[in-house]
């Protein structure tokens, strides 16, 4: 009897490349915006930690967020805050659900 665990593969699941990834990225410096934009163009969902850049400059964080908002708007994506330290950015194929306030 073999005591080795058997690998489990979901039925119909293949080893193909996924359509998109959810990635967590730190915003360490303003130049990281180009990498973030490229990831969004590739169709990935990003959770961006703002704290590394905020440590050196709150103004740089504000400028970066404004630039990302403008970029996301031009590609038809979405952006939202996740607490005090993070934002989430999505490509055009994914929208962020927002609770309607009354």
CATH code (residue 50): 3.30.110.150
- pTM here? 0.79
pLDDT digits (tens, 9 = 90+) for 38-64: 999 999 999 999 999 999 999 999 999
Q: Note down the domain range covering 69.
A: 22-90
Residue 74 lies in a domain: yes
> What is the distance between the alpha carbons of residues 75 and 2, in angstroms, rounded to a whole number?
53
Give domain status of residue 101, yes or no.
Answer: no
Q: What number is the average pLDDT over the span 57-83?
A: 97
Report which of 62, 96, 64 is spatially closest to residue 77, judged by C-alpha positions. 96
The pLDDT value given to residue 3: 54
- Classified as helix, coil or strand, 77 is coil
- Rounded mean pLDDT of the chain? 89
Task: Look at residue 16 in the predicted model and tell me its pLDDT.
Answer: 78
Q: How many domains are contained in the chain? A: 1
Paired residues of 79 in beta bridges: 89
Please, which pLDDT band fits residue 11 given cuts at 50, 70 and 90? low
Structural tokens at position 43: 């169709």
Among the residues of 14-50, which ranges form H helices?
Answer: 32-41
Of 87, 39, 38, 30, nearest in space to 61 by CA: 30
């Amino acid at each position: 009897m073999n005591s080795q665990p058997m690998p489990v593969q979901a039925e119909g699941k293949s080893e193909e490349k996924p359509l998109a990834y959810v990635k967590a990225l730190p915003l360490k410096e303003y130049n990281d915006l180009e990498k973030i934009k490229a990831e969004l163009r590739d169709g990935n969902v990003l959770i961006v930690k703002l704290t590394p850049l905020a440590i050196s400059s709150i103004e740089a964080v504000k400028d970066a967020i404004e630039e990302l908002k403008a970029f996301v708007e031009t590609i038809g994506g979405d952006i939202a805050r996740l607490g005090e330290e993070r934002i989430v950015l999505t490509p055009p194929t994914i929208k962020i659900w927002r609770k309607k306030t009354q």
